[in-house]
Amino acid sequence: MKKILMTVEYNGANFHGWQKQKNKRTVQGELEEKIKILTGDEVKVEGSGRTDKGVHALGQVATVNIEKNIPLSNFKTALNKLLSDDVCVKSVKFASSDFHPRFNAKRKTYRYVVSKKRLALEHDLVTYYPHKVDVERMKKASELFLGKHNFKAFCASGATVKDFEREIYDLKITERGSKIIFEITGNGFLYNMVRIIVGTLLEIEKIGEENILKAFKEGDRSLVGKTMAPNGLYLKKVEYI
């Protein structure tokens, strides 16, 4: 048996997220179904993490164990022919038997794209945000998130995790025409954490920097911004070194 590591790209608009669900189209389910057709075996695809309904990926990492001796180049080409147009395998390689795409991950980078203009052709790829924003103030406020913090206030309510401490290594905000692009790299992320951080920064004039610092100390969700829509979010990259 060989373990194959795949880098997968997908448009999440027509998926009910990554995780396999009964009677719902998911990325994990799609991959497992098509690999079964290719190999003739029941398989389980493990991902580096779950993405929600509507969330996209430029570099999701996943593994699958296969019995048959299929050359890597043939596996990638044949699998992509079977997959639908909104998901593709960008690269494949062999991984050690003890490698796990989630537990071995060291850093993840997420991208969030906001458009100040209404875009018909890209409506499922960006979040339309027509409100006035202070980009320079957002950039300065983004520095508050760097380092280790208690991100309980930046997590969806009802989360079952016990440890809310995460470390953010980098947070960049870039303007490209009518779009504002946020890129956040950290050692891990809580449920909806990126979407809440972006929502907080977009409303920084209303929320104020002092409430971000207060939220780290008190873990009070009401101190920070709203949870942004899923369609602007991308899992960009997962790193293992």
**Among all residues, which ones are annotated catalytic?**
52
Please tell me the distance from the alpha carbon of residue 113 to that of residue 173, in angstroms, as a whole number. 10
Q: How far is CA 9 from CA 106, 107, 113, 174, in A?
A: 20, 18, 17, 23
What does DSSP say about strands 233-239 and 87-95: parallel, antiparallel, or unpaired? unpaired
Q: Between the CA of residue 3 and those of 20, 51, 99, 105, what are the distances in Å?
A: 20, 22, 9, 17
Q: What angle do CA 37, 39, 94 make, to 5 degrees?
A: 125
Render the burial of 173-211: b for 16+ CB within 10 Å, e for the rest: beeeeebbbbbbbbebbbbbbbbbbbbbbbbbeebeeeb
Query: What is the distance between the alpha carbons of residues 169 and 189, in angstroms, rounded to a whole number?
Result: 12
Q: Tell me the sheet residues that pair with 2.
A: 66
